[in-house]
Amino acid sequence: MGTKKNMSISFVLIAIVLLWLKNYTVYKFIFDIDIENTMQEFILFINPLSFLMIVLGIGIFMAGRKQKIFVVATSFITSFILYANVVYYKEFSDFITIPLLTQTSNMGDLKSSVGELIGWTDILYFSDALLILVLAIVKTPNISFRKYKSVYAAAFYFSAIGLAFFNLGLSESERPELLTRTFDREILVKNIGTYNHHIYDAYLQTKTTAQRAMADGNQLTEIENYTRAQYTEPSKEMFGAAKGKNIIVVSMESVQEFVIGQTVNGQEITPFLNEFIKDSYYFDNFYHQTAQGKTSDSEFLLENSLYPLGRGAVFFTHSGNEYMSLAERLKENSYYTAKLHANNKSFWNRDVMYNNFGYDRLYSLPDYEVNEENSVGWGMKDVDFFDQSIQQLKEMPQPFFAQYITLTNHFPFELDEEDKFIDEFDSNSGTLNRYFPTVRYTDEALKLFIEDLKAEGLYEDSIIVIYGDHYGISENHNKAMSQYLGKEITPFVTTQLQRVPMIIHIPGHEGKTISSVSAQIDLRPTLLNLAGIDTKQDIQFGTDLFSEKQDNFVVLRDGSFITEDAVYTKGVCYDKATGEPTDGASCEPYIEHAKNELSYSDQIIYGDLLRFYRKDEQQQ
Ligand code: GP9
Ligand code: MN
Same domain, 377 and 503: yes
> Tell me, what's the pLDDT at 6?
63
Could you tell which of 107, 343, 382, 470 is best to mutate to test the pocket of ligand 1, judged by most ligand atoms within 8 Å of the CB?
343
CB 524 within 8 A of CB 307: no
Angle, CA 170 vertex, CA 164 and CA 173 arms, to 5°: 140
Q: Tell whether ligand 1 has an atom less than 6 A from the beta carbon of residue 295.
A: yes
Does residue 564 lie within any of the structural domains?
A: no
Report how far ligand 1's centroid is from the alpha carbon of 86 (Å): 20
Omega cis (within 30) before 412: yes
Same domain, 412 and 326: yes
Average pLDDT over residues 139-161: 93
Asked if the model's pLDDT at residue 609 lies above 60, the reply is yes
Average pLDDT over residues 95-105: 83
0.75 exceeded by pTM: yes
Q: Tell whether ligand 1 has an atom less than 6 A from the beta carbon of residue 343.
A: yes
Mark whether 535 is an active-site residue: no
Does residue 232 lie within any of the structural domains?
A: no
Proximal ligand: closest to the CA of 468: 2
CA 100/CA 106 separation, integer angstroms: 10
Contacts of 90 (CB under 8 A, 6+ apart): 30, 117, 476
Asked if the model's pLDDT at residue 418 lies above 80, the reply is yes
Does residue 425 lie within any of the structural domains?
A: yes
Same domain, 406 and 527: yes
Q: Tell whether ligand 1 has an atom less than 6 A from the beta carbon of residue 245.
A: no
Residue 513, phi then psi, degrees to nearest 5: -95, 130
Same domain, 131 and 277: no
Note the pLDDT tens digit of each residue in 335-352. 999 999 999 888 998 999
> Tell me, what's the pLDDT at 193?
93
- Ligand 1 atom 3 nearest Cα: 295
Binding-site residues sit at: 253, 295, 410, 469-470
Contacts of 351 (CB under 8 A, 6+ apart): 345, 362, 364
Same domain, 169 and 295: no
- Ligand 1 atom 9 nearest Cα: 295
Same domain, 166 and 264: no
For the ranges 168-182, 291-305, 422-436, 523-537, the lowest mean pLDDT is seen at 168-182
> Tell me, what's the pLDDT at 620?
39
Q: Tell whether ligand 1 has an atom less than 6 A from the beta carbon of residue 294.
A: yes
Average pLDDT over residues 43-47: 95
Dihedral over Cα of 579, 580, 586, 588: its sign: positive
CA 605/CA 603 separation, integer angstroms: 5
Report how far ligand 2's centroid is from the alpha carbon of 196 (Å): 30
Average pLDDT over residues 431-438: 97
Q: Tell whether ligand 1 has an atom less than 6 A from the beta carbon of residue 405.
A: yes
> Tell me, what's the pLDDT at 606?
95
226-230's contacts with Cβ under 8 Å and 24+ in sequence apart are: 226/596, 226/600, 227/539, 227/540, 227/541, 227/600, 228/536, 230/541, 230/543, 230/551
Asked if the model's pLDDT at residue 196 lies above 70, the reply is yes
Q: What percent of the chain has pLDDT over 70?
A: 98
Residue 30 CB coordination number (10 Å)? 15
Asked if the model's pLDDT at residue 7 lies above 90, the reply is no
Please identify, by atom number, the ligand 1 atom nearest to the C-alpha of residue 113.
8
Tell me the Ramachandran region of residue 510: left when phi exceeds 0, alpha when psi lies from -120 to 50, beta otherwise: beta
Nearest Cα to Cα of residue 237 among 508, 425, 602, 515: 508
Does residue 554 lie within any of the structural domains?
A: no
Average pLDDT, whole number, for the chain? 93
Does residue 101 lie within any of the structural domains?
A: yes
Tell me the Ramachandran region of residue 143: left when phi exceeds 0, alpha when psi lies from -120 to 50, beta otherwise: beta
Q: Tell whether ligand 1 has an atom less than 6 A from the beta carbon of residue 319.
A: no
Same domain, 166 and 300: no
Please identify, by atom number, the ligand 1 atom nearest to the C-alpha of residue 254.
9
CATH code for position 487? 3.40.720.10
CA 609/CA 322 separation, integer angstroms: 8
Same domain, 169 and 305: no
Of residues 37 and 472, more confidence is placed in 472
Does residue 522 lie within any of the structural domains?
A: yes
The parent domain of residue 199 ranges over 2-211
Does residue 569 lie within any of the structural domains?
A: no
Please identify, by atom number, the ligand 1 atom nearest to the C-alpha of residue 297.
10
Same domain, 447 and 313: yes
Q: Tell whether ligand 1 has an atom less than 6 A from the beta carbon of residue 342.
A: no
Binding-site residues for Mn(2+) sit at: 253, 295, 469-470
> Tell me, what's the pLDDT at 176?
75
Asked if the model's pLDDT at residue 38 lies above 80, the reply is yes
Of 544, 577, 594, which one is at a domain's C-terminal end? 544
Asked if the model's pLDDT at residue 2 lies above 70, the reply is no
Angle, CA 608 vertex, CA 605 and CA 609 arms, to 5°: 100
Burial class of 23 by CB neighbour count within 10 A (0 to 12, 13 to 18, 19+): buried
Report how far ligand 1's centroid is from the alpha carbon of 597 (Å): 26
Average pLDDT over residues 405-424: 97
Asked if the model's pLDDT at residue 460 lies above 90, the reply is yes
Could you tell which of 290, 299, 378 is best to mutate to test the pocket of ligand 1, judged by most ligand atoms within 8 Å of the CB?
378
Categorize the per-residue pLDDT at 616 as very low, low, confident or very high, splitting at 50, 70 and 90: low
Report how far ligand 1's centroid is from the alpha carbon of 199 (Å): 28
Q: How many residues does the chain have?
A: 620
Average pLDDT over residues 473-494: 96
Same domain, 302 and 346: yes
CA 254/CA 266 separation, integer angstroms: 22
For the ranges 47-61, 111-125, 571-585, the lowest mean pLDDT is seen at 111-125
Same domain, 198 and 247: no
Burial class of 283 by CB neighbour count within 10 A (0 to 12, 13 to 18, 19+): buried
Please identify, by atom number, the ligand 1 atom nearest to the C-alpha of residue 294.
10
Mode of pairing for the β-strands spanning 400-405 and 336-340: parallel
Proximal ligand: closest to the CA of 253: 2
Catalytic residue, chosen from 78, 97, 194, 295, is 295
Does residue 572 lie within any of the structural domains?
A: no
Categorize the per-residue pLDDT at 615 as very low, low, confident or very high, splitting at 50, 70 and 90: low
CA distances to 94, 243, 263, 551 from 185, rounded to whole Å, are: 7, 43, 34, 27
Average pLDDT over residues 2-20: 83
Q: What percent of the chain has pLDDT over 90?
A: 82
Q: Tell whether ligand 1 has an atom less than 6 A from the beta carbon of residue 350.
A: no
CB 185 within 8 A of CB 94: yes
Q: Tell whether ligand 1 has an atom less than 6 A from the beta carbon of residue 406.
A: no
Binding-site residues for substrate sit at: 410
Report how far ligand 2's centroid is from the alpha carbon of 469 (Å): 6
CB 482 within 8 A of CB 286: no
> Tell me, what's the pLDDT at 325?
98
Nearest Cα to Cα of residue 78 among 205, 193, 203: 193
Categorize the per-residue pLDDT at 78 as very low, low, confident or very high, splitting at 50, 70 and 90: very high
Average pLDDT over residues 563-575: 96
CB 193 within 8 A of CB 47: yes
- Ligand 1 atom 6 nearest Cα: 295
Count how many domains the chain has.
2
Of 519, 544, 569, which one is at a domain's C-terminal end? 544
Nearest Cα to Cα of residue 199 among 15, 34, 54, 40: 54
CA 130/CA 352 separation, integer angstroms: 44
Report how far ligand 1's centroid is from the alpha carbon of 410 (Å): 7
> Tell me, what's the pLDDT at 3?
43
Note the pLDDT tens digit of each residue in 591-604. 999 999 999 999 99
Of 544, 561, 581, which one is at a domain's C-terminal end? 544
SS3 of 610, please? helix
Residue 405 CB coordination number (10 Å)? 22
Same domain, 250 and 367: yes
Task: Report DSSP state, residue 421.
Answer: -
Report how far ligand 1's centroid is from the alpha carbon of 444 (Å): 20
Note the pLDDT tens digit of each residue in 371-409. 999 999 999 999 999 999 999 999 999 999 999 999 999
